[in-house]
Amino acid sequence: MAKPSIFLDFSLLKNNPSFRAIFCARMLSVFALGMLAVGVPVQIQAMTGSTLQVGVAVMLDGVGMFIGLLLGGVLADRYDRRKLILFARGTCGIGFVLLSLNAFSLAPSLLALYFLAFWDGFFGALGMTALMAVIPLIVGREHLAEAGALSMLTVRLGAILSPAIGGMIIVAAGVGWAFAVAAIGTLATLIPLVRLPAMKPEQQEPEHPLRALASGIQFVCQHKVVGAVVLVGLLLSMVGAVRILFPALALTLHADASALGLMYSAVPLGAMIGAFTSGWVRQLARPGRVLIGCALLAFACIASLGFYSHLLPALLALVCYGYSNAIASLLQFMLTQHHTPDALLGRVNSLGTAQDVTGDSLGALGLGALARVLAPLSSVLWFGGLAAGLLVLLALAARGLRTARLGDQPDASRPATADA
């Protein structure tokens, strides 16, 4: 038996061809979507000079993602997940090809940009939901910690590098080539994915899509572990919106633009450290308690920003926040995947991801309202403190989360209200 280590275990990439295919496909997908996030606003700004028009495109991309997540969850629990992944990735690639052709045309169409932003957001989310649903089937629930950490590493690297790469391509060759590279990367994901085995979900009675979605929501609301994990995730995603206060906090700390950049970089730096040193997570006896502790530490780090008058301690607090948030996210993934029956994996994963998007928007709205009546330091102090207080109340009420283990397999035949 290998000696336990705190560092990330890469053996799944070496020993599991199917997971390696998923990993490579997701990496390419994250980079392609990062280029979409840069390319569409740049092109619309150049065409119209209107920030409002840019906002409409970003909104359509977000709406497409939200709908794609919810529909993708229902489809992933009904049809062969391999075919769904291939269809979604191929269709998303076609969208990037059309974006590239539109950018290279003599008179690019603004309406086409709007439509294709929604298109790629929708099909990108559709494929991502199916990819997440197959991970427990491919690696086994005993390897969820390693798979989750590697997946998290993929997303973090993509979030850091893909906008920078997209920006460099746009500067060097134009936005059309950025979309072309994204199209090549997206369609290239079909090469490793086509080798995946058929992965049909457990047979279920036919349901109307809305009723099937309602069944997933009912499971999340009634399951004592999964429901609590989703609520913790909602708090974490809401607090993540604190980044909108970074410019105001930088002014309060008498920091310049380069220091502001460091504030934005500190969080992903902490998250990367968390991903690389997450080997200890798979050995936990009570992962639910550690999830609560990591979330509480994350909220305390954010609240502590209200006490600092210098940049350095604020940066250290943000790195610590990024680390604790990353470990909490990994534990969310492990607990959700482990305690969800195969027949519901698609819907529960889609609801969890949709909750992230919704929580971030709600957090930004609430923090923006708070900042209208309080100074930036007071706003962040109250925001983090309120989240910590809500978490404590949730932890006291959620005995199922505090006692949750990863030793038993979920049983689809058990009632949704059973405490796993």
Per-residue confidence (pLDDT) for residue 1, from 0 to 100: 43
Separation CA 352–CA 330 (nearest Å):
13
Angle of the 209-222 helix axis to the 226-239 helix axis, nearest 10 = 90
Q: Containing domain of residue 336, as a range?
A: 207-405
Query: What pLDDT digit, counting tens, does each position of 200-251 carry?
Result: 777 666 677 778 888 888 888 889 999 999 999 999 999 988 888 888 888 8
2 in any annotated domain = no
Query: What pLDDT digit, counting tens, does each position of 295-346 carry?
Result: 999 999 999 999 988 889 999 999 999 999 999 998 998 898 888 888 888 8
Separation CA 105–CA 306 (nearest Å):
50
Largest CA distance in the chain: 63
What end-to-end distance do the CA atoms of the chain give, in Å? 28
Q: What is the CATH number of the domain that holds 240?
A: 1.20.1250.20
47 and 156 housed in the same domain: yes
Shortest CA distance to 216 belongs to which of 82, 334, 70? Answer: 70
Per-residue confidence (pLDDT) for residue 343, from 0 to 100: 81
Shortest CA distance to 121 belongs to which of 40, 190, 212, 206? Answer: 40
Q: pTM here?
A: 0.77
Helix residue ranges per DSSP H, 77-208: 81-104, 110-139, 144-173, 175-188, 190-193
Query: What pLDDT digit, counting tens, does each position of 82-126 carry?
Result: 888 899 989 988 999 999 999 999 888 999 988 988 898 888 888
**Which of 204, 239, 267 finishes a domain?**
204
Per-residue confidence (pLDDT) for residue 79, from 0 to 100: 83
358 and 299 housed in the same domain: yes
DSSP string over 252-289: HTT--HHHHHHHHHHHHHHHHHHHHT-GGGGG-S-HHH
For 244, half-sphere exposure in the C-beta direction (CA atoms, 13 angstrom radius) is 19
162 and 55 housed in the same domain: yes
Per-residue confidence (pLDDT) for residue 301, from 0 to 100: 96
Q: What is the mean pLDDT of the chain?
A: 83
Q: How many domains does the chain have?
A: 2
CB 145 within 8 A of CB 12: no
33 and 66 housed in the same domain: yes
